[in-house]
Structure 1
Amino acid sequence: AYSAYSNLRGFIYQNKDKKNRLMRIDELHKFSDGTLTDVHTALDDRLKRIQMKYLPKSIWRKSDKDRAAAMIQAIDKMLKTRRIMRSLERFVGGRMYEGDFRMLQRTI
Structure 2
Amino acid sequence: MRVSCTQLSATEISGCIDALRRRVFSAAARSEVDQLAEQLDAQAWDVQHAADRGCGDATEYLAAFRKARASAAVGFTLSGTLAGARESLFEAFHAVDDRAAFLSAVIG
Bin the TM-score by the shorter chain: 0.3 to 0.5
Which of these two proteins has the greater Rg computed from alpha carbons?
1
Higher strand share: 1
Higher relative contact order (CA 8 A, sep 6+): 2
Structure 1-normalised TM-score? 0.39
Higher helix share: 2
